Amino acid sequence: MSIEQSDKIDFISTSKSGTIQLTISDHLEWKDEEMHLLILQKKINAYLDFIQSEQIFEDYPSAKNKKITISLSMKFKPTNVALKTLEDFKMILTKQDFEFSWKVIK
């Protein structure tokens, strides 16, 4: 799975604390920043649909009554504009009672 497959959940796991973590795997470079951000936005929206439609509970029954987070694992360091957009995504998701985080994997 990857960020380009917006109809797929890349990874789903349960943390030691019991939080359900949905992870987006992002292998894209930031050369075409605008396109990259559009792809990312589409993927995040698909994850939100997966959660809000309650499909997550059909596919992953142990997610019921648990906190859900979305994380982004990137291969390449984001640009400054991308970082600002990630902060915006975080703010929007926090208002919907979801956590959002990101990291660069080396």
- Tell me the per-residue pLDDT of 75-95, one tens digit each, with 9 for 90 and over: 999 999 999 999 999 999 999
Decide if 74 is inside a domain.
yes
CA 59 → CA 1, 9, 18, 52, 62, distances in Å?
A: 16, 11, 17, 13, 9
Into how many domains does the chain fold?
1
pLDDT confidence bin for 65, thresholds 50/70/90: very high
In a domain, 39, yes or no: yes
Model-level pTM? 0.92
* Structural domain includes residue 87: yes
The length of the chain, given as a count of residues:
106
Establish if 2 belongs to a structural domain. Answer: no
Q: Kindly report the average pLDDT of the chain as a whole number.
A: 95
Structural domain contains residue 98: yes
Q: How confident is the model at residue 2 (pLDDT cuts 50, 70, 90)?
A: confident
Domain, as residue range, for 39: 11-104
Residue 3 domain-assigned (yes or no): no
pLDDT value for 106: 82
**Distance in angstroms (rounded) separating the CA atoms of residues 84 and 40:** 13
Q: Is residue 17 part of a domain?
A: yes
Is 1 a domain residue? no
Q: How far apart are CA 95 and CA 8, in angstroms?
A: 24
Query: Strand, coil or helix: what is 37?
Result: helix
